[in-house]
Amino acid sequence: MLHPRRGLIRALDGRKVRMLVIRTQRLILRDFQYDDFQAYGKLRSTLHFQRFYPEEDASLEKVEQLLGMFITWANEQPRQRFQLAVTLPSDKIIGSCGVRVTSESEHQGSFGCELGQAYWGMGYAYEAGRAMIEYGFREMGLHRIYAETIAENEMARRLAQKLGMREEGILRENRWFKDRWWSTVVLSLLESEWMLMPSNNSLNPTPR
Ligand SMILES: CC(C)(COP(=O)(O)OP(=O)(O)OC[C@H]1O[C@@H](n2cnc3c(N)ncnc32)[C@H](O)[C@@H]1OP(=O)(O)O)[C@@H](O)C(=O)NCCC(=O)NCCS
């Protein structure tokens, strides 16, 4: 059972700030702060990380823009978009993960997850993803959560499948970057399918 909390977190400068905190077995998912700029930028800076992103996404301007967007989302009322920092218990940022409402009337949301390369292959994305998907169905009242990723991004596809998503189809050559066309794949999970997943009850986050 998920225990999302609005908790007080100490920022790097010693201030205490109020933010959403979701705790899983090994991770803490929390709202971003501007202080996270350097750590977040560093995570996105490796060539492997950038493989399936457009060239401009590698810039520091893009990192600043993303961080600003996540923090703006956190302050929207009512809040409908969540992209949380994925951190280790030491508060070291290892990535981000989120669910965003894309249609309020039809209870649709999109899912996205990214980790710094040093943290791949450890099950962290799966753990963070499960927590966010649980949040999307339980707290945000979503009916369907989908992910769209570059079709060649095998790790992202496998993550979505491990989270229980089923492939809906391929959008052929709908993205252009790095001097070539890329196809994307859409995968989704319905609330009714998620409810039936046995692993659903094994998440045991503890409140902070
Ligand atoms: C997509 C991305 C988040 C996937 O990360 P990941 O580390 O492969 O995903 P997971 O956390 O689920 O780890 C998977 C592997 O960890 C291993 N693992 C180790 N310990 C584990 C544990 N305790 N629990 C589960 N898996 C574990 C498993 O072998 C698993 O491999 P498998 O899928 O072959 O079974 C990562 O590749 C990434 O950040 N890429 C760059 C950004 C990006 O492209 N994001 C997608 C945009 S749409």
Q: Which of 158, 171, 178, 199 to mutate to test the pocket of ligand 1 (most atoms within 8 A of CB)?
A: 158
- The DSSP string of 160-200 is HHHTT-EEEEEEEEEEEETTEEEEEEEEEEEHHHHHH-GGG
The answer to whether residue 79 scores a pLDDT higher than 80 is yes
Nearest CA to ligand 1 atom 33: 158
> What is residue 205's predicted lDDT score, i.e. its pLDDT?
43
Task: Please determine, looking at this structure, whether the domain spanning 5-201 carries the CATH number 3.40.630.30.
Answer: yes
Q: What is the C-alpha separation between 60 and 145, in angstroms, rounded?
A: 29
49 CA: nearest ligand 1 atom: 41
Burial class (CB in 10 A: 0-12, 13-18, 19+), 14: exposed
Phi/psi of residue 205, each to 5°? -70, 150
Q: What is the pTM of this model?
A: 0.91
12-30 pLDDT per residue, tens: 455 556 799 999 999 999 9
Query: If you average pLDDT over residues 30-45, what whole number do you get?
Result: 95
* Among protein residues, the one whose CA lies closest to atom 25 of ligand 1: 123
Average pLDDT score, the chain? 91
Domain residue ranges in the chain: 5-201
Q: 36 near 97, Cβ under 8 Å?
A: no
**pLDDT exceeds cutoff 60 at 1:** no
Residue 159 CA, closest ligand 1 atom number:
12
- Report the pLDDT averaged over residues 135-140: 97
Quick one: average pLDDT of 98-125?
98
What is the model's pLDDT at position 198? 85
